[in-house]
Structure formats: C-alpha cells, structure tokens
Structure 1
Amino acid sequence: MPGLTRPRRCYVVCTEVPPNVVGGLGRYAERLLAALRDTGVPVEVFGAVGRRLPPRTHRTGSVTLHLLPTPGQPSPETPQKAPRRDSAGPRVPVDGEVGDAAGVSPRAGDPGRGGIGALVRVGGLIWFNVRVAARILRSGRRAGAVVAVHDWMGAVAGILCRVLGRTPVVFHVHTCEHNTAPGARRTFVNAGITALENAQARLADLIVVPSAGMRDELVARGWPKDRLRVVPHGYEDPELIRLAELPGARRDRLRAEVRERYLPGGAGRLVVFAGRLSPHKGVHTLIRAAALLRGRDDLRVVLIGSGDDARVAGLIEREGVAGQVVAGYRFLDPPEVFAHFLAADVCVFPSVYEPFGLVAVEAMALGRPVVVGPGYSPEVVGEGAVRCRTGSPEELAAALSRCLDDPEHAAGLARRGAEHVRARYSWARTAEATLAAYAEVAR
C-alpha cells in the first residue's frame, strides 16, 4: 500500500515477553513494547509462558499482550534468579551444574540443555507457533497489517502466515550464536534451527538486525542484503536512568556499598563483567587476563552471570586467581547489575561474538570506562569504548591496565561513551525505526 509511513496493525510473535523476562530477548521485548504502547499503532503480541498458567490477555495503550501456556517454558511466578546474598564470596559449582541448579533459569528458547528437556522445549515452541499462526490467520487479511517474528522461536508462525495467508512478514534476528559463535555445538537440533532460519529468511519480506556486524554476518551466510535493515536497540531502563541521575553524594554511597562487598574498606580496583559464562562471551579470556595482572593485590574482577560454571571455576583454580576473581555463578536483577557497573573502575565485556551487546551500552550510559572484545560491531560502541581487536588475554590485560592506571584516559573514555550512547540510542527511536521498517512491506 504506497505512502504508508506506519503499518496499520502489527502481529508480533516473541516467545519471551514480560513478565516472563529471563534473557536478552525478554529485556528487548519489555522495553520495545513500552515504547510502542503510545504510538497509536495497534500491536498484538503473542508470548509463551509455563503450562501451569491460564491464558492471559493484557492491554496497555495500543499494545495487547497475549500470554499462551506452552510446554517447556518457565512461568512468571517461578523465581528466575537466586535471592540476593549478603556475602559476596564465590560459590564453587559441581561438575555439570547449569541452569536452574545454579539458581538461574536457562535462556528461554535454548534447545541445547538435556535430551528430553530439549525435545519438550522444541515441541512446545512448535505448538505455540501453530496456535499463534492460526489465531492470526483466523483474524483475516487486513490492509496494512504486518506479522513480525523474533528469532527462530517464532519462525514457524512466520512461515505459516506468509505461505497460507500471504501476509507480509518481518523476521527479527537477534542472535545466531547456536551455530555462529565460537564453540557452538553442531547438533541435530541446531542443524534444524539453522534450516528453519534460512527458510524464514527466504520467505520474509524484510529482515531486521540490531547491528551492521550482524547484517554483514548474515550477508556472508547468503541472506539477501537488499532485504536486511539495521535497527539498533535503545538503552533506557527506568532503574538505569534513576541511577544515572543520582546526586553525587548518593551515587558515592551506592558505589561504596557495592565496592565494600569485594574490597576491604572499598579501597582498591574493581573490574566488573556481566553476561553468560560461556566461551563466546570471552570470560575465559578475562580470567587468563586476570592472571597476567596477578601482581595487583588490590584488584578484584567480579563475574556476574552463570552458564559454563564448572569449567569457569576450574579455570580460576588452574590460573591461580581465586583471590582476585570473584564469581557468584548467578545472574542478578538489572538494578543490581547497574549498581555494579556504577561501582566499577572498568566494565569489561570481551565477547568474540556479540550481535549487539546491550550490557556494554548500558555501562557506557552510566558513564563508566568500558572495554569490549572483537565480537562487538565497531559502530555499536564507536569511540566510547576500548575495542580489543583479538581475543588474546595479553591485549585484554593491557587495555584493562591502561584504564586502571591512567585516570585521564579512563575519564575521557567514560565521557565519550556516555555521549555516544545518549546521542545514538533510545527505545523511542528504536520503536519508530521498527514501525518504519514494517511500513516498507505493509500492503
């Protein structure tokens, strides 16, 4: 339909939606839906929750959220994170301990944990997609309507709507780490996911990605460049904005409270990492870099997150950095993570694969010096962070040392990072760019 600047209606298929926020996709959905609710464009969102809950429908502004019980999905009432502890001491996991055993639910939609569990999750997701597609198709073809599906978990619904209903479909791809990230396992399930992604990419009218780096990765994979659009994420979380605007005295008190959990009297140097403890996030490189900085008795490197817990604990022991590296093997709620960023002398995210990297953007928005790995697309952090060009511990150790030893360098980096984020990113801008992309194919 020529001349549309916005679609007339959007159907969104996204398995992880509020209040079922257990990973990056859920946080994206939470913030984007909040930005879309006042746009005036009717948006119907279909999300998956645990089977113990009845179907629910919520409406806020122009966004209507449908929660559909789905096998293999967590329930919002189920605690997703371990309770906060007063002690900051590390906990050593046992061999093979992952996910719920470490106090954290696995990433929604992750098929790679356990044979029967993986089958239940994949089967549940297929059932969810078929039900959603049926509901969208039953509503009838509407002029100017678009179906938007997020990652492979919504691709079945997208394919059905495109083939059976001839409805325009936009495919949002947030990550391909199951087959692209270094160390990704080659399994039957992952092969099936890749085939499903490729099929959806061929049928989609448009493909939306969060960074130029991911666009280039998918073009190299053979996806159509002319149908790929880059729409970056925003950064504003209400708690992040609150902390960023704290008066100086209150900000200093909060920083001191966090630092005293890890440093005697809060004196010393604090480096903070947040993310899954997996090879492609660079956590193993960070531990080896900490070993190169072993002479700094006042240094603590804090690892926030869970994942490959037993191997991380073993590497900390082998590298002899148990006195320097503090790992709790659990995720924290965003307010706690932001407080740690605020308290850090340096925030570090040494990923070798990163489609966007919201945590780095959030740390930059808080005015902290940030070091990232080669997996970050250069335009995401610009000149506002140190971007390591290799995955070597030596380069990472050198970047951390400069930030710790050169206050002028660190202050300039923090200032440029905050300016870059605030000038470039906002969820309102993301929402408008997303609707503009949908309008390209609405008919």
Structure 2
Amino acid sequence: MRVDVISREYPPEVYGGAGVHVAELVRALRDSLDVRVRCFGMPRDEENVFNYLVPGQLSEANPALATLGVDLQIAQDVAGADLVHSHTWYANGAGHLAKLLHDIPHIVTAHSLEPLRPWKAEQLGGGYRVSSWIEQTAFEAADAVIAVSHGMRRDILRSYPTLDENTVAVVHNGIDLERWVPSDDADLVRSLGVDPDRPSVVFVGRITRQKGLPYLLRAAALLPPDVQVVLCAGAPDTQEILAEVHSGVAALQLQRSGVIWLDRLLSQPELGAVLSHATTFVCPSVYEPLGIVNLEAMACGAPVVATATGGIPEVVDDGVTGRLVPIEQLDDGSGTPLDPERFVADLAVALTEVVSNPDEARRMGRAGRAKAQAEFGWDRIAVRTREIYDSVLN
C-alpha cells in the first residue's frame, strides 16, 4: 500500500505539534507501508520526501491563497497513491483535491479546528474565511477523520454536525520514548541561562492566543520569589501578540529575578535537559486538542500543571502526574476564560503547590513518565492508524 502524507510541517521545518506528529507517525508507518511525504518549504534530504514552494505569482498573496497554490501542486503529484492522509487545514485542500482528481480515499487528522481558533483572523484577515472553508469542505468529504483526543472528537462533531460520527475515530498523539528521556545534563541547562539548583516553572510553545501565555505571565507574578520562570516561546502568530508578550515579560522581569525567555527553537537535547530539570512544566492553553509538549515533559520526568480543557485531561491525571487547573470558557470558539482573574489565580495556586513540594513533584514526574510509556508510544499509534487505512480501502 502506498500512502501519501501531506503536511505543511516536516523536519527540519517544524514549529508545532502537528509537525512532530507527522514526522513520528511517518517513521512508525514506514515499517509496513510505502509512505511518501509531500510538505511545504525547502528541499529535504530524506528519501521519498518531496517539497513544494509557493508559486511566484502568489508570493505576496494572502497566506490562505498562497497555501492553495501549494496544495494544487501537491494534488497533482499524488497520482499513483492508494490513499492520501492530510494534516491541518494547510494540507486538507491538497488531500481533498487529490481524492477528487485521483479517486482515492482521503483521511484527515485534526490537530486543531478553524471554528475554535477565531483569533486566526488577526493573522489571516479574510484568509481565515478561506481556511475555514477549506477545512470544512475537506472534513465533510473525507473517508475518515482522525481526532487526536476524545475532546477533539467532541469538538469536531459539534463544529461539523453533518459528519457521520462513525467516520470520526480517536488516535492519540504519541511520544518517542527513546529520544525523550530524563536528562541529568546540568551544564547544558546552565549554558541556556537557567540555574538547575533553583526551582523552575517551564513553558514551551508558540506565541499564539491558544497557548495562554499572557495568563501565565500574570500568574507568574504570584509565584514564590525563588522560582525561575523559563519561557521557551517563539514563532509568534502576529506582531500584536508578540508585543503583548514582550510587554508582559518586561513587566515580570522588573518584579522578580530568574525570568528567562529563550525565543529560539531549542534543539531536542537542549529542550530535554530543560524539561528534565524543571520542577514543573506548565501548559496554560485555552485551546489544546491534546498537546504533544505535555507528553514530552512527562517523558522527561516533569510533572505537568495544565488547563483542564480540550484533550489535556486525557494526558494529565490530576494529583497523579500533575495538576489540572479548572477553567470556564466562553462558547464563542475563542476559549477565553469567563473569569480571567480567577483562572490566573487558580493557575498560580496550582503552580505554587507543586514547586513548594519538590518530593511530591518528583513523584508526579515519575508517574508521568510511566503513563507516557504505557499509553503513548508511537508503535501503538501506528497500528491504530493502519487499521483506519485498511477500513477505508476494504
């Protein structure tokens, strides 16, 4: 069976969880399938990985139209595949067109949903309506839709009520348990400006509305003074959200020491070391289908303090592998807390409780590593994905 996997992101051009997911899934599937990757960006060295650039005529176009320009090229080249599998709206257009053009099944994996990301209008303008149309069209015509969590499955069926619920399956994200392991490299942590002998709260994520970074910056002001706040944050969606984060970090740095902002993409060994030395990892997202970064932290032995939203409760066991922070949210798709001050206060309390009890934090970290090993290995995810492929071909 030949499967063409389509993704905007693929190593080394990875900036979010979807890119990590695609890379790991492809590696696991290649043990039994002929998998070809069609991705956006510059040429890759890997065999059977094909890159596509925005056509020159669309280089200054709205990003949604530029994406369609790439999708058209990919759809043409899928000829000969038995099945096409697309990831995120950027690739959904190519997958849908390939289905129509070549009469082959199209599988969609949902890593996020456009109706639940209305802030994308800040980034795309009218292109947000185009991206929403692409996603809806592809989902409603797909032979199967894969949700990365049960929470995401509920969101899909609520956002696209015409879908047959029998075509929407759950296959969780996974984690490479050989690469993501606890690291004792204290010198590497020091080289990044982090003191491994001080307690630390670590955030990793893109600078985007859904990640809740502004709420974390406000909560961090309420933490004990000896706690470091380590922000591994970059790839801003817009200049506006970047300016908001700059302002918040500057204000926090005036109040306390140990506020470290690493705004470049860390290597895996660097990030693994930072996570391994964290007293706790924090995920303050207001929208998170699952959160691979939570799995990365757990695999490195860090407890996770995270918002009880989306698929996060399927990863973080409250009181066992970390803490879940309650949140009541607007139902307009934005994820905005109904009571932002309460959410900030509850986040600060949960973080303070964990960093103030390092023995309990280490116990939760060990439990998190065990859960990652038991439930989220990529071998399990590849088997389940292959079952879905077989179901649409038979």
Provide the C-alpha distance between the structure 2 equivalents of 1:421 and 1:124, rounded to a whole number of angstroms: 38
Whether 2:174 is the aligned partner of 1:234: answer: yes
Give 1:166's aligned residue. Answer: 103
Provide the C-alpha distance between the structure 2 equivalents of 1:126 and 1:338, rounded to a whole number of angstroms: 36
Q: Normalising by structure 1, what TM-score?
A: 0.76
**Structure 1 residues 205 and 262: alpha-carbon distance in aligned structure 2, compared to 1, 3 A threshold:** same
Alpha-carbon distance, 1:125 to partner: 2.7
Gaps of 5+ in 2: 328-336, 338-342
Alpha-carbon distance, 1:262 to partner: 4.5
Alpha-carbon distance, 1:333 to partner: 2.0
Whether 2:329 is the aligned partner of 1:400: answer: no
Whether 2:339 is the aligned partner of 1:409: answer: no
**Residues 341, 366 of structure 1: 8 Å contact kept:** yes
**Structure 1 residues 121 and 185: alpha-carbon distance in aligned structure 2, compared to 1, 3 A threshold:** closer
Give 1:302's aligned residue. Answer: 230
1:193-220 CA-to-partner distances (Å, cap 9, x unmatched) read: 1111111111101001211111111111
**Structure 1 residues 25 and 276: alpha-carbon distance in aligned structure 2, compared to 1, 3 A threshold:** same
Provide the C-alpha distance between the structure 1 equivalents of 2:364 and 2:118, rounded to a whole number of angstroms: 29
Give 1:136's aligned residue. Answer: 78
Q: Which amino acid aligns with 1:437?
A: I
**Residues 286, 307 of structure 2: 8 Å contact kept:** yes
**Residues 25, 382 of structure 2: 8 Å contact kept:** yes
Give 1:109's aligned residue. Answer: none
**Structure 1 residues 262 and 297: alpha-carbon distance in aligned structure 2, compared to 1, 3 A threshold:** farther
Give 2:38's aligned residue. Answer: 46
Greater relative contact order (Cα < 8 A, sep 6+): 1
Give 2:331's aligned residue. Answer: none
Worse-superposed segment, 276-285 or 420-429: 276-285
Secondary structure, aligned partner of 2:309: coil
Q: Which amino acid aligns with 1:316?
A: V
Please point out which of 152, 161, 174 is paired with 2:89.
Answer: 152
**Residues 180, 300 of structure 2: 8 Å contact kept:** yes
1:172-211 CA-to-partner distances (Å, cap 9, x unmatched) read: 11112x5414744363111111111111111101001211
**Structure 1 residues 364 and 69: alpha-carbon distance in aligned structure 2, compared to 1, 3 A threshold:** same
Alpha-carbon distance, 1:428 to partner: 1.4
Secondary structure, aligned partner of 2:206: coil
Q: Normalising by structure 2, what TM-score?
A: 0.84
Gaps of 5+ in 1: 1-7, 73-115
Provide the C-alpha distance between the structure 2 equivalents of 1:217 and 1:353, rounded to a whole number of angstroms: 11
Alpha-carbon distance, 1:277 to partner: 2.6
Q: Which amino acid aligns with 1:432?
A: V
Provide the C-alpha distance between the structure 2 equivalents of 1:279 and 1:136, rounded to a whole number of angstroms: 34
Alpha-carbon distance, 1:168 to partner: 1.2
Q: Which amino acid aligns with 2:34?
A: P
Q: How does 1:1-400 map to 2 (within 5 A)?
A: 8-39=1-32, 41-50=33-42, 58-59=46-47, 64-71=48-55, 119=61, 121-137=63-79, 139=80, 145-176=82-113, 178-181=114-117, 183-185=119-121, 187-223=125-161, 224=163, 225-236=165-176, 238-241=178-181, 244=182, 251=184, 254-255=185-186, 257-259=188-190, 262=193, 266-293=196-223, 296-306=224-234, 307=236, 308-318=241-251, 320-321=254-255, 323-377=257-311, 378-382=313-317, 383-390=320-327, 392-400=343-351
Bigger Cα Rg: 1
Alpha-carbon distance, 1:130 to partner: 1.8
Coordinate RMSD, CA, aligned: 2.5
**Residues 189, 270 of structure 2: 8 Å contact kept:** no
Count of residue pairs the alignment pairs up: 366
Secondary structure, aligned partner of 1:17: coil
Q: Which amino acid aligns with 1:67?
A: N
**Residues 350, 374 of structure 1: 8 Å contact kept:** no
